[in-house]
């Protein structure tokens, strides 16, 4: 028998390794931008076509490469940044693994141009499948340009895995911002399909934040600055009134490297504590500098997660630095009554559906009555009561209205759906706990959950509107503008035409700004911005759910967000409309997300309970 083990050819090994470093266009953008920063560039231009799928090009005026280095750079583990393992613990550069260019060369067609100041000519190299197919001298200015075309052209499985252009572009915007934010002394520009997305002049940190996140923060940034022997923190937090309903304007950098840390985010949120509504997110851009020996940046290949030697110290430090900053600028809740009042009203309006909320909802007594065994949510008998879904589905002896139908089943009209002998009687309605409505029927009563019911009604109304007759728009007399985080702006653009059908008339106004020309009649004037921010936040919560289309997510987000909340007192008229609308729905008995909208109680069963 022959021996069977072989070494993989370089290009295959590189392709495999590339999987870790280059998952999507945005990862390549990040690596190229970081290389330009490491090369000492003061000007960096990024260009992409088709969200990076067709072209990603970064041009810098950094120190350039010699002819030999330019070829070496594409070898795996080829780096000028570390020489031995000790160097790993004193890294000051963004890159160090020497894998980015090798990975890029394995999965795209690459053209490199580079010239050092001391060389008379530059070098041009063309690479495909990790092989140099052309090399020649060229005339050029000092610096480097790397263009990568047709990402994953040779790994179709990966190419197919890429998301829509809008989604990929959003990732690119995120990565661009993360690099541009931490180097305000560098000029950055970003062009997508020939259109300029960002043009960021050199300036102070504060100017950079405003350039990126928008003018609305201009006079509303509180400086954070604290220095110790162990670590420094500096940067800005937004004044409490700039807190948004949508997460996004939150950045942490450790030694200039963007990181994600739920732990440190918690420290900031804690410092803001009572100053902002519970469901809103303060803006922050914070830089922590500490001895690289105190961290391990190597824990994650794309380096977004880091390990601190002593996490607790960092947490306490961050929290107190921010408290201190807010106190210094006398932004303290006890002094600011006006703010407090507006917070309360915000809080009462509605809350976004966060993971926290989900778990608190699922531990609520109401939810438990639906899910706990042996707890009678249907007042029927003591016989084994099953999970309500099973109950709906299996018990064929129940009237038709009990059968749980998936929301995407063919539509039937409400009238046919409700057992005619058990029609809701809408002349006498009672609201209890400002959350439920009791509706008499011939045989007993329905206990309607007002928010779930409204969610169902809105969902069906919206679903009809996007298909056919659009929802009427109420024109704004004084159109407000809304300025979004760049990534959210990309998202909103994607949703504009559906939003239009749903009564939101929004027009892009450049610079991530939109003019709100009109809103659906039931969104009150002055609340347009909040409504849109909340919708986006809600949408992002659904975003990870791949089984739904964009439109479906939009419908569900809007329905959930616009529904009348539990705790809202309703007039008789409002209750009547709500109940009638509910039972005119195609599927009145559950929300699109599968929560029940009402429960039925029958007289004969009530009688039994009372021993009659
Ligand atoms: P790393 O950045 O981890 O060292 P890369 O594969 O990203 O690995 O780059 C390999 C090497 O190529 C770098 O160490 C650097 O010497 C050189 N290089 C890459 N991009 C540039 C650039 N824009 N300007 C100058 N040199 C560069
Ligand atoms: Mg690099």
Say which CATH number the domain at 504 has. Answer: 3.30.1370.100
Residue 438 falls inside a structural domain? yes
Confidence of residue 235 (pLDDT cuts 50, 70, 90): very high
Q: Average pLDDT for residues 550-575, to the nearest whole number?
A: 86
Q: Average pLDDT for residues 519-535, to the nearest whole number?
A: 78
Residue 544 falls inside a structural domain? yes
Distance CA 440, CA 601 (A): 10
CATH number of the domain at 272, please. Answer: 3.30.230.10
Atom 2 (ligand 1) nearest CA: 95
Residue 180 and residue 91 in one domain: yes
Q: Which pLDDT value is given to residue 556?
A: 85
Ligand 1 binding pocket includes 179 (Cβ within 6 Å): no
Q: Which pLDDT value is given to residue 310?
A: 80
Instruction: Name the pTM for this structure.
Output: 0.64
Residue 250 and residue 172 in one domain: no
Ligand 1 binding pocket includes 78 (Cβ within 6 Å): yes
Residue 46 and residue 160 in one domain: yes
What is the whole-number distance in angstroms between the Cα of residue 148 and the centre of ligand 2? 15
Domain that holds residue 127: 10-203
Ligand 1 binding pocket includes 35 (Cβ within 6 Å): yes
Q: Which pLDDT value is given to residue 367?
A: 32
Residue 520 falls inside a structural domain? yes
Confidence of residue 443 (pLDDT cuts 50, 70, 90): confident
Residue 355 falls inside a structural domain? no
Ligand 1 binding pocket includes 79 (Cβ within 6 Å): yes
Q: Which pLDDT value is given to residue 38?
A: 96
Residue 69 and residue 112 in one domain: yes
Q: Which pLDDT value is given to residue 56?
A: 98
Coil vs helix vs strand at 525: coil
Atom 19 (ligand 1) nearest CA: 35
Confidence of residue 42 (pLDDT cuts 50, 70, 90): very high
Ligand 1 binding pocket includes 62 (Cβ within 6 Å): yes
List the single range of 40-49, 164-173, 381-390 with lowest mean pLDDT.
381-390
Share of the chain above pLDDT 70, in %: 82
Confidence of residue 119 (pLDDT cuts 50, 70, 90): very high
Which of 186, 203, 220 is the C-terminal boundary of a domain? 203
Residue 510 and residue 464 in one domain: yes
- Nearest ligand for residue 17 CA: 1
Atom 17 (ligand 1) nearest CA: 73
Residue 431 falls inside a structural domain? yes
Residue 242 and residue 279 in one domain: yes
pLDDT at residue 196 tops 90: no
Residue 223 and residue 178 in one domain: no
Confidence of residue 294 (pLDDT cuts 50, 70, 90): confident
Q: Average pLDDT for residues 421-437, to the nearest whole number?
A: 86
pLDDT at residue 577 tops 70: yes
Distances (CA, A) of 24 to 141, 172, 250: 30, 9, 23
Coil vs helix vs strand at 40: coil
What is the whole-number distance in angstroms between the Cα of residue 515 and the centre of ligand 1? 43
Which of 157, 179, 203 is the C-terminal boundary of a domain? 203
The minimum-distance atom of ligand 1 relative to the CA of 102 is: 6
pLDDT at residue 401 tops 50: no
Q: Which residue has the higher pLDDT, 159 or 475?
A: 159
Q: How many domains does the chain have?
A: 3
Residue 458 and residue 564 in one domain: yes
The minimum-distance atom of ligand 1 relative to the CA of 143 is: 24
Coil vs helix vs strand at 66: coil
Which of 284, 310, 328 is the C-terminal boundary of a domain? 328
Residue 338 falls inside a structural domain? no
- Cα 385 → chain centroid: 39
Annotate 107-130 with b (16+ C-beta within 10 A) or e (fewer): bbbbbbbbbbeeeeebbbbebbbb
Confidence of residue 411 (pLDDT cuts 50, 70, 90): very low
Distance CA 298, CA 307 (A): 9
Confidence of residue 547 (pLDDT cuts 50, 70, 90): low
pLDDT at residue 486 tops 60: yes
Ligand 1 binding pocket includes 494 (Cβ within 6 Å): no
Q: 445-474 pLDDT, tens per residue?
A: 999 999 999 999 988 888 888 877 788 888
Ligand 1 binding pocket includes 31 (Cβ within 6 Å): yes
Confidence of residue 302 (pLDDT cuts 50, 70, 90): low
Residue 279 and residue 192 in one domain: no
The minimum-distance atom of ligand 1 relative to the CA of 97 is: 3
The token pair at 323 is 């408290």
Please give the angle made by the CA atoms of 198, 201 and 205, to the nearest 5 degrees: 100
pLDDT at residue 247 tops 90: no
The minimum-distance atom of ligand 1 relative to the CA of 31 is: 7
The minimum-distance atom of ligand 1 relative to the CA of 96 is: 3
The token pair at 129 is 């499948």
Residue 503 falls inside a structural domain? yes
Ligand 1 binding pocket includes 61 (Cβ within 6 Å): no
pLDDT at residue 409 tops 90: no
Strands 187-192 and 195-200: antiparallel
Asked if residue 102 lies in contact with residue 155, where contact means CB atoms within 8 angstroms, the answer is no
Q: Which residue has the higher pLDDT, 163 or 394?
A: 163
Residue 182 and residue 223 in one domain: no
Residue 76 and residue 219 in one domain: no
Ligand 1 binding pocket includes 39 (Cβ within 6 Å): yes
Residue 432 and residue 536 in one domain: yes
pLDDT at residue 345 tops 50: no
What is the whole-number distance in angstroms between the Cα of residue 73 and the centre of ligand 1? 6
Most confident of 339-353, 519-533, 574-588: 574-588
Ligand 1 binding pocket includes 100 (Cβ within 6 Å): yes
Residue 377 falls inside a structural domain? no
Q: Which pLDDT value is given to residue 83?
A: 87
Confidence of residue 528 (pLDDT cuts 50, 70, 90): confident
Ligand 1 binding pocket includes 592 (Cβ within 6 Å): no
Those residues whose C-beta lies under 8 Å from the C-beta of residue 521, and which sit 6 or more positions away, are 472, 473, 474, 503
What is the whole-number distance in angstroms between the Cα of residue 128 and the centre of ligand 1? 18
What is the whole-number distance in angstroms between the Cα of residue 33 and the centre of ligand 1? 10
Asked if residue 27 lies in contact with residue 34, where contact means CB atoms within 8 angstroms, the answer is no
Helix (H) or strand (E) holding 410: none
């Amino acid at each position: 028998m022959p021996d069977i083990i072989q070494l993989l050819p370089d290009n295959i090994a590189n392709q495999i390794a590339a999987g870790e470093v280059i998952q999507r266009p945005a990862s390549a953008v990040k690596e190229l931008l970081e290389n330009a920063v490491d090369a000492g560039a003061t000007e960096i231009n990024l260009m992409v076509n088709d969200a990076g799928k067709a072209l990603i090009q970064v041009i810098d005026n950094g120190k350039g490469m010699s002819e030999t280095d330019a070829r070496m750079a594409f070898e795996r583990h080829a780096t000028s940044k570390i020489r031995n393992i000790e160097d790993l613990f004193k890294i000051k550069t963004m890159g160090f693994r020497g894998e980015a260019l090798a990975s890029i060369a394995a999965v795209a067609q690459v053209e490199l141009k580079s010239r050092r100041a001391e060389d008379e000519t530059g070098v041009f190299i063309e690479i495909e499948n990790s092989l140099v197919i052309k090399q020649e001298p060229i005339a050029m200015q000092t610096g480097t340009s790397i263009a990568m075309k047709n990402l994953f052209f040779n790994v179709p499985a990966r190419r197919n895995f890429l998301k829509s252009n809008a989604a990929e572009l959003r990732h690119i915007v995120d990565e661009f911002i993360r690099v541009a934010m931490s180097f305000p002394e560098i000029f950055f520009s970003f062009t997508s399909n020939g259109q300029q997305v960002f043009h960021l002049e050199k300036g102070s940190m504060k100017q950079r934040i405003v350039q990126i996140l928008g003018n609305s923060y201009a006079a509303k940034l509180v400086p954070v600055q604290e220095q110790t022997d162990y670590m420094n923190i500096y940067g800005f937090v937004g004044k409490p009134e700039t807190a948004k309903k949508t997460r996004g304007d939150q950045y942490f950098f450790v030694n200039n490297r963007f990181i994600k840390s739920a732990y440190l985010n918690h420290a900031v949120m804690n410092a803001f504590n009572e100053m902002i509504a519970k469901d809103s997110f303060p803006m922050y851009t914070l830089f922590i500098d500490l001895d690289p020996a105190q961290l391990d940046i190597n824990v994650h290949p794309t380096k977004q997660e880091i390990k601190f030697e002593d996490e607790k110290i960092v947490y306490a430090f961050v929290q107190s630095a921010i408290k201190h900053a807010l106190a210094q600028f006398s932004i303290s809740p006890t002094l600011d009554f006006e703010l407090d009042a507006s917070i309360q009203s915000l809080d009462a309006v509605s809350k976004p559906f966060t993971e926290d909320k989900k778990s608190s909802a699922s531990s609520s007594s109401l939810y438990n009555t639906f899910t706990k065994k042996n707890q009678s949510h249907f007042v029927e008998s003591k016989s084994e009561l099953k999970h309500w879904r099973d109950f709906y589905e299996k018990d064929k002896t129940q009237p038709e209205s009990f059968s749980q139908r998936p929301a995407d089943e063919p539509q039937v009209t409400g009238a046919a759906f409700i057992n005619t002998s058990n029609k809701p009687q809408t002349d006498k309605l009672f609201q209890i706990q400002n959350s439920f409505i009791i509706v008499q029927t011939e045989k007993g009563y329905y206990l309607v959950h007002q928010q779930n019911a409204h969610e169902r009604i809105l969902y069906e109304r919206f679903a009809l509107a996007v298909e056919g007759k659009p929802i009427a728009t109420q024109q704004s007399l004084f159109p407000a503008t809304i300025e979004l985080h760049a990534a959210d702006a990309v998202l909103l653009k994607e949703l504009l035409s559906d939003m239009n059908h749903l009564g939101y008339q929004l027009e892009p106004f450049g610079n991530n700004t939109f003019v709100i020309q009109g809103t659906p009649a039931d969104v009150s004037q002055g609340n347009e911005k909040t409504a849109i921010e909340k919708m986006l936040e809600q949408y992002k919560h659904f975003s990870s759910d791949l089984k739904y289309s964009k439109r479906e997510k939009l419908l569900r987000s809007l329905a959930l967000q616009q529904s009348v909340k539990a705790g809202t007192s309703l007039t008789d008229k409002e209750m009547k409309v709500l109940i009638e609308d509910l039972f005119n729905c195609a599927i009145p008995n559950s929300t699109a997300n599968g929560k029940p909208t009402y429960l039925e109680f029958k007289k004969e069963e009530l009688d039994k309970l009372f021993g009659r």
